[in-house]
Amino acid sequence: MDWILDFYNYRVVAQYLPEFARGLGSTAWISLLALGISLSVGTIVAIMRMSTNPLLWRIAAGYVQAIRSTPLLIQIYLIYFTLPALPLLDRRLDELEGGIIALGLNAGAYMSEIIRAGIESISRGQVEGAMSVGMSYLQRMRYVVLPQAFARVAPPLLGQTAVLIKDSSLVSFIGVFELFGAGLVILNERLMPNEGFLTVAVCYLAIYTIMLSVTDYAQRRLGGAVS
Amino acid sequence: MNEIILSTIPFLMDGLLMTFKISLLTIFFGSLIGVVVGMLRSLDYAVITYPLGAYIHVLRGTPFLIHLYLVYFMLPMTGISWLQLEAFPAAVIALSMYTSTYVAEIVRSAIQAVPRGQSEAARSTGMTALQSMWYVVLPQAVKLMIPPMGGVYVIIIKGTSIVSVIGIAELVRAGEHATQRHPKEMMMIYGMTALLYFAYCYPVLRLARWAETKFGSVRLPS
């Protein structure tokens, strides 16, 4: 068994297990909060993008293009390093808040494209039906269009969530401790890249596999998806 | 203000050049690996399909940052001399492998989009599986691959930002250096960096969209 210990010393990994658990939990929280932001931003941007008001849809389209054409890393840097003190908060964002907001805004652009496809797939009759019973625009969206749209695009949204979880590793660049950071700890303290990064890789792969089967399940339960 | 912009731009341009170099090498090698993997996978021999499926699944399921660290830090630990990679080849190799998974899926989807009758007709005239692939199926599939490849190229360009972490002086790194010289102008410098990325990526995305209206496209599994 010695040759395994040379390449991958699982005893060291066992020693650092609490770090990995902490990193995993941190990644889960970061992803969950960023997911919340991205879904809210994505829905608003999707609705703006479909508006007939040129100002609204141009802003939305510009936002999506800007996010899609620049790397996430530079978005994280811009938000964390360059935003001045925020008026309501009365201080600058710390690295965790900055990272989560950047991740959420980034994923929001991709989510908005998926959500827009979902909204567009809802047949006109649904909206007309809602109008004829006297629903306002917001009511139509809230009670008729969005629930159906989200059900229809749940699989691609879940796929994008898997990407979001992977991307959350980038917030380690601004010093947030998460799953990838746990690997860095082993690299820095023990100079053991294999033990650190292979373990982290396996954790991410496990998350991805779970997300993939959830996506499959959603696809089967909710029928054909639009993408 | 103006002086700072003027004095920073040459450094950022050097960084952009490096980003350009890495992205070009990567699209080349990544496509090469990806086309081979995608073609082999579409041949539908279980012995080949499953291991290659695992290759794609593993690379897709882990962040690129991890691949980069594994190639740059782990391969040298094996002690084999030609695996002691410098930062630049390590970055190109890791990014090419990551890219190849996207290309492989595109190639496979495009090949599957060509009607089955085409390859059946080719086989019935006595062509081998490889001949029918090369002379009949691929020429028709290539058109469908062009639009999504634009998206892949943008993914690569954005991916190059991450290789700054192993010390390659590409655009993000150049921006970081510039902010160390002018710490007060961080927003402007990172803003300029973002604009340069935008100037590189946006035309590619537009071109891909144009190609899509011209050639049609394949629906990729999400």
Task: Please tell me if residue B61 touches chain A, with a CB cutoff of 8 Å.
Answer: yes
Task: Locate A132 and state its tokens.
Answer: 């004829």
> What is the pLDDT averaged over residues B130-142?
89
Would you state the pLDDT for residue B42?
A: 85
Q: Which residues contact B174 (CB under 8 A, 6 or more apart)?
A: B11, B12, B14, B15, B16, B18, B193
Task: Please tell me if residue A188 touches chain B, with a CB cutoff of 8 Å.
Answer: no
In one letter, which amino acid is A90?
A: D
Q: Which residues contact A190 (CB under 8 A, 6 or more apart)?
A: A12, A196
Task: Please tell me if residue A205 touches chain B, with a CB cutoff of 8 Å.
Answer: yes
Chain A interface test: which of B58, B59, B64, B69 (most A C-beta within 10 Å): B69
pLDDT at B5 exceeding the cut of 90: no
Neighbour-count burial for B23-50, b at 16+ CB within 10 Å, e otherwise: bebbbebbbebbbebbbbbbeeeeeeee
As a whole number of angstroms, the distance between CA B161 and CA B171 comes to 7
Would you state the pLDDT for residue B56?
A: 94
Residue from the list B74, B161, B164 with its beta carbon closest to the beta carbon of A193: B74
Q: Which comes out higher in pLDDT, residue B40 or A89?
A: B40
Would you state the pLDDT for residue B95?
A: 96
- pLDDT over 70, % of chain B: 97
Please report the sign of the dihedral spanned by the C-alpha atoms of residue A21, residue A26, residue A27, residue A31.
Answer: positive
If you search the block for the tokens 């993939």, which residue do you land on?
A212
Would you state the pLDDT for residue B170?
A: 92
Q: Does the ipTM surpass 0.90?
A: no
End-to-end CA distance of chain A: 49
pLDDT at B51 exceeding the cut of 90: yes
Mean pLDDT by runs of 10 across the 227 residues of chain A is 76 89 95 97 96 94 95 95 81 90 97 95 92 93 93 92 95 93 89 88 95 91 61
Averaged pLDDT of chain B: 90
If DSSP codes are grouped into helix, strand and coil, which group holds residue A91? Answer: strand
Q: Which residues of A touch B175 (CB under 8 A)?
A: 74, 77
Would you state the pLDDT for residue A144?
A: 93
pLDDT at B50 exceeding the cut of 70: yes
DSSP B44: -
> What is the pLDDT averaged over residues B86-96?
94
Task: Please tell me if residue A227 touches chain B, with a CB cutoff of 8 Å.
Answer: yes
If you search the block for the tokens 């961080």, which residue do you land on?
B186
Q: Which residues of B touch A216 (CB under 8 A)?
A: none
Averaged pLDDT of chain A: 91
As a whole number of angstroms, the distance between CA B73 and CA B118 comes to 47
- A35-92 pLDDT, tens digit each: 999 999 999 999 999 999 999 999 999 999 999 999 999 999 999 998 887 777 778 8
> What is the pLDDT averaged over residues B163-192?
91
